[in-house]
Amino acid sequence: MDLYRMAGAGAAAGLRPFYPLGAIVKGFVPAPVRRMRGRFDPGAEVLGRLGSLEVRLARSREEVKAAQQLRYHVFYEEMSARPSRVQKLTRRDKDGFDRYCDHLLVIDRTRGGPLGDQIVGTYRLMGEEGAALAGGFYTAQEFDIAPLLARHRGKRFLELGRSCVLKDYRGKRTVELLWQGIYAYVRQNRIDVLFGCASLSGTDPATLALPLSFLKTSAAAPAEWRVRAQPRRGIAIDETIICSDPRRALAALPPLLKGYLRIGGYIGEDAVVDHQFGTTDVLVVVPVVNINPRYIEYYGDTSGRFAA
């Protein structure tokens, strides 16, 4: 799913890694040497509302823990991810990158009880400041993003990861609200490029050949946005497979992956099998300038507070 380690991307983005440039360390966890200043805002505003649902950033460490518990429930109890011993004990999907990220939460106030029970969706957002402190972007374990960052030096990148929605909420409304929150965050932080992994359930590339081919042929990245998998990790996507019903193929994709495509996302060159999470991943890159104006109007803030 979204397990990454840094492989030289820090230097390409003007970041300061905590280990030798270009090193790939198995099981790499960022050194907890420094923390983001002012990481939590107790008064973080609501970024969007839809019915009983609202979206905003986590306001405290306790809210992040609740998001990690939701991730554990979905990834390890509902889906086929394999937890570590520590994860089994804590019942939280936690890693060393969490402290360097902002955590977007979807909250359903009608659920009542403690806030942890009201969180129904979450997304992890990692900007360049967090990546600098962590030693690099999380995505680099699976995909070689260093050339991408080098080609677009000066642009502000935001990594999206650990997307997770409670089963009963996996539909258009929650996805729309997540994107509303992401777009508000993009405006606030003047982000130029979104990127991250998107996952298809299953680890057999042959079984997933049709959706992978559809993704690649319908949203192939031009040369300037192209990304390859890390050496010996990638599986080539067969573009010769013909999809006879593109609308049906699109409808069969996970909602968040469909969201990437609808706002103008590109798909990388290869896929990567993630055996821990039981998924096959593709790299998605979304230049903000690609986002269709009708989606900007739909998700955007109409008050002008975050205008460039």
10-49 per-position pLDDT tens digit: 333 333 333 222 333 334 444 444 556 567 899 999 999 9
Q: Is 149 a member of any domain? A: yes
Q: What is the per-residue pLDDT for 173?
A: 86
Give tens-digit pLDDT for 53-63. Answer: 999 999 999 99
Q: Please say if the pLDDT value at position 143 is more than 70.
A: yes
Domains contained in the chain, number: 1
pLDDT bracket for residue 304 (50, 70, 90): very low
Nearest of 126, 113, 107, 215 to residue 165 by alpha carbon: 107
Domain enclosing residue 233, as ranges: 9-31+123-299
Q: Please say if the pLDDT value at position 199 is more than 50.
A: yes
Average of per-residue pLDDT across 175-186: 92
Q: Please say if the pLDDT value at position 168 is more than 90.
A: yes
Sign of CA dihedral 109, 180, 41, 132: positive
Average of per-residue pLDDT across 153-166: 96
Q: What is the per-residue pLDDT for 297?
A: 67
What distance in Å separates the CA atoms of residue 282 and residue 199, rounded to the nearest whole number? 7
Q: Is 187 a member of any domain? A: yes
Q: Is 265 a member of any domain? A: yes
Mean pLDDT of the chain: 84
The residue whose two tokens read 């609740």 is 66
Give tens-digit pLDDT for 39-88. Answer: 789 999 999 999 999 999 999 999 999 999 999 999 999 998 999 999 99
| Secondary-structure percent of the chain, ordered helix, strand, coil, rounded to 5 | 35, 20, 40
Q: What is the per-residue pLDDT for 52?
A: 92
Q: What is the per-residue pLDDT for 246?
A: 84
Q: Is 88 a member of any domain? A: no
Nearest of 270, 294, 292 to residue 282 by alpha carbon: 270
Which tokens belong to 263? 């706002």
Q: Is 114 a member of any domain? A: no
Q: Is 79 a member of any domain? A: no
Contact 28/6 with Cβ under 8 angstroms?
A: yes
Q: Please say if the pLDDT value at position 282 is more than 80.
A: yes
Contact 30/98 with Cβ under 8 angstroms?
A: no
Helix, strand or coil for residue 300? coil
Q: What is the per-residue pLDDT for 29?
A: 45
**DSSP E strand stretches across the chain:** 48-50, 53-57, 102-108, 119-126, 143-144, 157-165, 193-201, 228-229, 234-236, 266-274, 279-287
Q: Please say if the pLDDT value at position 305 is more than 50.
A: no
What distance in Å separates the CA atoms of residue 95 and residue 200, rounded to the nearest whole number? 22
Q: What is the per-residue pLDDT for 34?
A: 52
Residues paired with residue 174 on neighbouring β-strands, in sequence order: none
Contacts of 78 (CB under 8 A, 6+ apart): 167
Q: Cα 221–224–226 angle (5° rounding)? A: 45
| pTM reported for the whole predicted model | 0.84
Q: Is 82 a member of any domain? A: no
Q: Is 152 a member of any domain? A: yes
The residue whose two tokens read 């998001």 is 67
Give tens-digit pLDDT for 90-128. Answer: 999 999 999 999 999 999 999 988 888 999 999 999 999
Amino acid at residue number 211: P
